[in-house]
Amino acid sequence: MLKNLCKKMFGRSLWVYHANSGGCNGCDIEVLNVLTPYYDAERFGIKLVGSPRHADVMLCQGPAMRSTAKALKRAYEAMPAPKLVFAIGSCACGGGLWFDSYSVIGPVEKIIPVNYYIPGCPPRPEAIIYGVAVALGLVEKKTAPVQLKQLEYPIPQYHPSDLHVRDEMVVYEKLEKI
Amino acid sequence: MSILSKLKETIVCLKAGRVTLPYPAQPQPVPPKFRGRPIFDVAKCTGCGGCANNCPAREILVLDVCQEIRILKYLGRRCAYCGRCAELCPEKAITMSHEFENATNSIGDIGQKLELFMSTCQRCGRCFKEPSPLEQLKMKGYRFDDLQNERWIFRSQSYLENEPVADDIKIEMV
């Protein structure tokens, strides 16, 4: 009975490992801010661990750099099997502002599979909690792809072939609407 | 001594009270100058491409499909929310919203795609614009950004090596 209760209570406890592969430390500070009493992440069972072998979730910050990509892949492979990867910040999601420079390979999804993306530079601590809550199924995600179209204004288009001389005047025979 | 210090600590903690924010249950307001996700207004946009040329992350792509239609794609994945696009938009079509809860499981959810209608010159059939401060924004000719691979290609020459570069149409004066 106690075991079942524990399963129910701690079944969704996530132990997070915090991997920075070349970020600017801004996202790290926001992640540590989540663990402070203000945004008490231990309400959801989230605990920061120091080794990838203990972790369920990897929080990636910073782009995959030429020098750290190998270490990032090794850390991912060291995690036990049901594992989640969160890309936190615009560097981890898309490579950051210096995505096309020599030392940056690109987003971390080029090296390891990413499950959840939390964009922002850096994301607010609330945004990180929201991303974890989306992963746990507590809230629904708010974003959806947007496609917008401008109304096409009807503009008459003139073709030279429709020009005809009539009574010393040049007349457009037909007006074609696009 | 140690018990006394523990008691002191308890009193300090009791004085501080409860500071934890009830965040996921209740919405958390942001400061008024907070810059969140940029929102594009398709009705105001003229398609000048100033945002695409001045984005530091180079993630607003422009593709001229044909004479009349220009596609503007905002990827959103490496956006630093600097607000530069909103600052220099001449029509104020881009606003920095207060949305920060953008966590998704697929990165395509953050993107926005605008299909813009460009009016053309009735003589030469090319898109035109009036001489304005936008001339400083260096949008000349067409652009062929790679929408499939989400690549930002500044010069059309670099993309089409063997093909002739789309240049100004020469009007033959007979």
A62: closest chain B residue by CA: B78
List of residues 6+ apart from A17 with CB closer than 8 A = A48, A49, A50, A51, A52, A54, A55, A57, A58, A59, A75, A79
On whether residue A43 sits in a domain, the answer given is: yes
On whether residue B20 sits in a domain, the answer given is: no
On whether residue B74 sits in a domain, the answer given is: yes
Query: Is the ipTM, as predicted for this complex, more than 0.95?
Result: no
Peptide bond into A122 cis (omega under 30): yes
Domain that holds residue A111: 2-136
CATH no. for residue B38? Answer: 3.30.70
On whether residue A121 sits in a domain, the answer given is: yes
A159-178: pLDDT as tens digits: 666 667 777 666 666 554 44
In terms of Cα–Cα distance, which of B84, B67, B82 is closest to B166?
B67
What is the tally of structural domains in chain A?
Answer: 1
Treating both helix axes as pointing N-terminal to C-terminal, what angle do A125-136 and A26-34 enclose, rounded to 10 degrees? 60
On whether residue A156 sits in a domain, the answer given is: no
On whether residue B10 sits in a domain, the answer given is: no
B40: closest chain A residue by CA: A148
Q: Is the pLDDT of residue A135 over 90?
A: no
On whether residue A147 sits in a domain, the answer given is: no
Residue type at position A4: N
Q: Is the pLDDT of residue A109 over 70?
A: yes
The average pLDDT across A93-112 equals: 89
Task: Give the confidence band of A77 by pLDDT, cuts at 50, 70, 90.
Answer: very high
Inter-chain touch A148–B76, beta carbons under 8 Å: no
Per-residue pLDDT, A29: 92
On whether residue B166 sits in a domain, the answer given is: no
On whether residue A18 sits in a domain, the answer given is: yes
On whether residue A178 sits in a domain, the answer given is: no
Per-residue pLDDT of chain B (174 residues; tens, 9 = 90+): 688 999 998 898 888 888 888 887 788 888 988 998 999 988 888 888 889 988 888 889 998 887 778 889 998 888 899 999 999 888 888 999 998 888 888 888 888 998 888 766 666 655 555 555 655 565 556 677 778 877 777 654 444 455 554 554 455 555
The average pLDDT across A27-51 equals: 88
C-alpha A86/C-alpha A94 separation (Å) is 13
What is the tally of structural domains in chain B?
Answer: 1
Beta strands A176-177 and A156-157: pairing type?
Answer: antiparallel
Give the nearest partner residue to A138 out of B24, B81, B114, using CB atoms.
B24
* Lowest mean per-residue pLDDT among A98-107, A126-135, B65-74, B160-169: B160-169
A91: closest chain B residue by CA: B78
CB B70 within 8 A of CB B153: no
In order, the DSSP letters of B113-156 are EEEEE--B-TTT--B---SSGGGGG---S--B-BTTTTB--S-H
Residue type at position B72: L
Task: Give the confidence band of A60 by pLDDT, cuts at 50, 70, 90.
Answer: very high
Test the B interface: residue of A108, A136, A150, A159 with most B CBs within 10 Å = A150
Q: Is the pLDDT of residue A52 over 70?
A: yes
Domain that holds residue B150: 34-159
CATH no. for residue A105? Answer: 3.40.50.12280
Residue showing tokens 């940056």: A104
* Lowest mean per-residue pLDDT among A30-44, A89-103, A148-162: A148-162
